[in-house]
Amino acid sequence: MIDLHCHILPGIDDGPVSQDESLAMARRAEEDGIHTIVATPHTLNGIHLNPAREIISKVDALQEILLNNHIQIHLCAASDVHLCPHILELVASGDALTINDAKKYILLELPSQAIPKGVKDEIFELKLNGITPIITHPERNAIIHHDSQLLYDLVSMGAISQVTAMSITGDFGVFVKRAAEIMLKKRLVHIIASDAHGADKRPPVLSRAVEHTAEILGSYEDAMRMVTEVPAAILSGAMPDFPEPMHTKHKDRFFTNSF
Ligand SMILES: [Fe+2]
Cα of 53 vs centre of ligand 1, distance in Å, is 19
Cα of 121 vs centre of ligand 1, distance in Å, is 22
Domain ranges in the chain are 2-235
CB contact set of 27 (below 8 Å; sequence gap of 6+): 71, 199
State the CATH architecture for 2-235. Answer: Alpha-Beta Barrel (3.20)
Entry pTM:
0.94
**CA of 137: how far to CAs of 62, 89, 163, in Å?**
26, 24, 5
Euclidean distance between CA atoms 236 and 31, whole angstroms: 25
Residues with CB under 5 A from ligand 1 (ion): 80, 195
Count Cβ atoms below 10 Å from residue 190 Cβ, excluding itself: 24
Cα of 239 vs centre of ligand 1, distance in Å, is 22
Euclidean distance between CA atoms 68 and 19, whole angstroms: 13
CB 176 within 8 A of CB 144: no
Cα of 74 vs centre of ligand 1, distance in Å, is 19
Tens-digit pLDDT string for the chain (259 aa): 999 999 999 999 999 999 999 999 999 999 999 999 999 999 987 788 999 999 999 999 999 999 999 999 999 999 999 998 899 999 999 999 999 999 999 999 988 788 888 899 999 999 999 999 999 999 999 888 888 788 999 999 999 999 999 999 999 999 899 999 999 999 999 999 999 999 998 999 999 999 999 999 999 999 999 999 999 999 999 999 898 898 766 555 665 443 3
